[in-house]
Amino acid sequence: MSLDALDCNERLCLRVSLSCLARHLAKFTCIYVRDCQIIITDLRRRLVDHYNDTTSNVPLSVLDQSLDKRITDIYETPKIHRIEITKDGKRVKKEQVLTYKELFYTDDRKPNRRVYVQGEPGSGKSTFAAKLVHNWCDGNRPSTAAPNDHSSFDDLLIIQNFQFMFFIALRESRGSTDVTHMIKKQLIDTLYSDEKREAMYKLVLKIIDTELCLVVRDGLDEWMAPDGSNLLEPSMAGFPNDKCTVLTTSRPWKLADERIKNSQIDILVEIEGINDPYTFCERVLRCILDESKNPKLTALEIRCFMSYRKLTSLSYSPMLYTLFICTWTDTLEEEDPWNGFSLCALYTTLLESLCKKANDITGFFNDLNPPQVKCFSSSKYLRPIIQKVDVISKAAFHLLFSPEKEKSIVFKDHELSNYLTQSEQEFALKAGLLSKRKTKKAFNSSISFVHKSIQEFLAAYHIASNAHLIDYVISGYLRHHAYRDALLELSQVFIFLCGLNVSAANKLSVIMNEHCIKRMGGLYESRTFQDITLAGYREAIANAQTGILLRLSHFEIDEINVMEMYNIWRENKSNVMHLGIIVNHETYRDIHCSPTQCEPISQVEFDLSSCHKLIYLELKGSGIQIQGKI
């Protein structure tokens, strides 16, 4: 029946019915929209609470995940640079990135939908991602957000423009291929009871399709595709490019894979550590020191010690620096760290921290299976993978002392394959001992140890177990390279070796001293070699080594080193060729034993009657008394 056939009453009734239906539909729609908004608001609140309980707390130590602190207590602004991918594929470090706007937008307008943040192990990638999440949460809390006390990345409105943020720890979803499934498993299944999960998952899919979202994929290098899959990274299927921004953190070796196309990267940045190590040190100390100690003074003491022991480069890596600070404070409880701090113990802890990332199975050395070096005896993650550590250490040694100097620190895949199998390379990359970076040339990558000092520690460990290499390899290395360069290149290996195997270090010091005598160019070289020998002596003492017989022919003794140099001199009376002593009686009480403890040095007697090779003698200062004839 057509509308024209209806009489007036019927038409009026129909209009009234349609009007009522429209009102009911409008009311129902309002209720539905209101209910949806309530559910969406509740989801956002739950996400904020979840992130506040998880990502807003970060562990101080990789070895002890239970020792965690609020990110706001220890966070320090990272040093981030944009990496330009040129037309020929080369990656060039450019300007420093200081704001979220620079990270998420190009030319202030064009959004960067695919953001990649790369960095070496311990550089602060995950902490930066966690702080990003924390900043988003601050804008979605009912109360007023806490003020941001960091000068960089303080443009929080850029982050709060995202209606939703989904943080995914990729290591927790190994074998899963879709980010939507990861969101369900890591977030929805955690936030909701079983009967609500399916409905909430559908709602999240709708939100992803309609709202401006940020997905943070943390740790691409820790994710594994399922067997038989050729995926290099999880699928973002279902995420519209115009609505969703994806920030991915990874180590450089993962992004060096040719399957990641340059066109798939809107912006690539690299975290190189922290901007202000001194402030970071204070923050960490405030979290671990008791109230009786002054964090500012302790931070200053640590900075002086690191400068004194030439360890300043460690302070720019949050992981290395935190390990150092914690090791320092542990030593502080037992003895004066200026005298008892062991570099070998520090690097053993670092080695464990890295290897745990690739294999977290525990195992202990014991009387039936003793370690080759004493500092490994208390470790709990090295015993199960000690064979891998051995072969990686062998590679570290042979590459470091390669006849081709340009290949000693940075090398190629085929050069590394001379020492490591493919599975051993993968272990070293996953652990973070090795770093791989993409180069301009196809099918080739630049590889290096994550930090030169780690390569030197592993090389020293290999020498400690294979002392014959001192004669067969290192002696030739010293002969064929400029003395000063070779001495400096060898110095840190020698210091580590003194703590690992002083017998081998004694042997190496004889060869180094011989080259020092033959090729020395002046006072600078002799003092440099003495400083290296003194540092080695201190490391041997810190590791309770006995039979310390380090060879030295040229001595420059002053108030600061008089006691330690005297101990070295006692074992070198028949070798001494040059002896200079400069001390003043009135400065004895000012001698730096440690910033917190100074005691006057007792009288020291240098008996020169056995110094048959002595050529040069210099005595200066009011603190010297001469007995006998000269």
What's the confidence (pLDDT) of residue 493? 96
Q: Which residue has the higher pLDDT, 228 or 493?
A: 493
Q: At residue 138, does pLDDT exceed 60?
A: yes
Looking at the fold, whether 114 and 219 belong to one and the same domain comes out as: yes
Looking at the fold, whether 113 and 245 belong to one and the same domain comes out as: yes
Q: What is the rounded distance in angstroms from the CA atom of residue 133 to the CA atom of residue 370?
A: 45
Asked if residue 98 belongs to a domain, the reply is yes
Looking at the fold, whether 181 and 32 belong to one and the same domain comes out as: no
Report residue 590 CA to chain centroid gap.
37
Q: What is the rounded distance in angstroms from the CA atom of residue 216 to the CA atom of residue 139?
A: 17
What's the confidence (pLDDT) of residue 591? 35
Asked if residue 445 belongs to a domain, the reply is no
Q: At residue 145, does pLDDT exceed 50?
A: no
For the ranges 53-62, 316-325, 333-342, 463-472, the one whose mean pLDDT is highest = 463-472
Looking at the fold, whether 65 and 213 belong to one and the same domain comes out as: yes
List, in order, residues 6 or more apart from 111 with CB less than 8 Å away. Answer: 104, 105, 245
Looking at the fold, whether 209 and 61 belong to one and the same domain comes out as: yes
- pLDDT tens-digit readout, 380-431: 999 999 999 999 999 999 999 988 877 788 888 888 999 999 999 999 999 9
Q: How far is CA 382 from CA 63, 121, 387, 389, in A?
A: 12, 18, 9, 8
Q: Which whole number is the average pLDDT over 4-23?
A: 60
Looking at the fold, whether 104 and 203 belong to one and the same domain comes out as: yes
What's the confidence (pLDDT) of residue 628? 63
Asked if residue 595 belongs to a domain, the reply is yes
Q: What is the rounded distance in angstroms from the CA atom of residue 429 to the CA atom of residue 419?
A: 15
Looking at the fold, whether 21 and 35 belong to one and the same domain comes out as: yes
Asked if residue 221 belongs to a domain, the reply is yes
Looking at the fold, whether 189 and 111 belong to one and the same domain comes out as: yes
Q: At residue 598, does pLDDT exceed 60?
A: no
**H/E stretch holding 49:** helix 8-53
Tell me, what CATH number does 160's domain have?
3.40.50.300
What's the confidence (pLDDT) of residue 293? 86
Looking at the fold, whether 173 and 221 belong to one and the same domain comes out as: yes
Q: Which residue has the higher pLDDT, 152 or 571?
A: 571
Residue 590 confidence class, pLDDT cut points 50, 70, 90 = very low
DSSP for residue 597: B
Asked if residue 67 belongs to a domain, the reply is yes
DSSP for residue 82: E
Asked if residue 483 belongs to a domain, the reply is no
Looking at the fold, whether 609 and 585 belong to one and the same domain comes out as: yes
User: Model-level pTM?
Assistant: 0.78
Asked if residue 319 belongs to a domain, the reply is no
Q: At residue 569, does pLDDT exceed 50?
A: yes
What domain count does the chain have? 3
- The range of the structural domain enclosing residue 574 comes to 553-630
Percent of the chain with pLDDT over 70: 85
Looking at the fold, whether 36 and 66 belong to one and the same domain comes out as: no
- pLDDT tens-digit readout, 42-63: 999 999 999 999 988 888 876 6
- pLDDT tens-digit readout, 342-370: 889 989 988 998 898 889 899 999 988 99
Phi and psi dihedrals of 327, rounded to 5? -65, -40
**Considering 219, 253, 274, which residue would you say is the last residue of a domain?**
274
What's the confidence (pLDDT) of residue 414? 87
**Exposed, middle or buried: residue 628 (CB in 10 Å: 0-12, 13-18, 19+)?**
exposed
**Considering 224, 250, 274, which residue would you say is the last residue of a domain?**
274
Q: At residue 283, does pLDDT exceed 80?
A: yes
**Considering 239, 259, 274, which residue would you say is the last residue of a domain?**
274
Looking at the fold, whether 177 and 264 belong to one and the same domain comes out as: yes
Q: At residue 30, does pLDDT exceed 70?
A: no
Asked if residue 178 belongs to a domain, the reply is yes
Residue 588 confidence class, pLDDT cut points 50, 70, 90 = very low
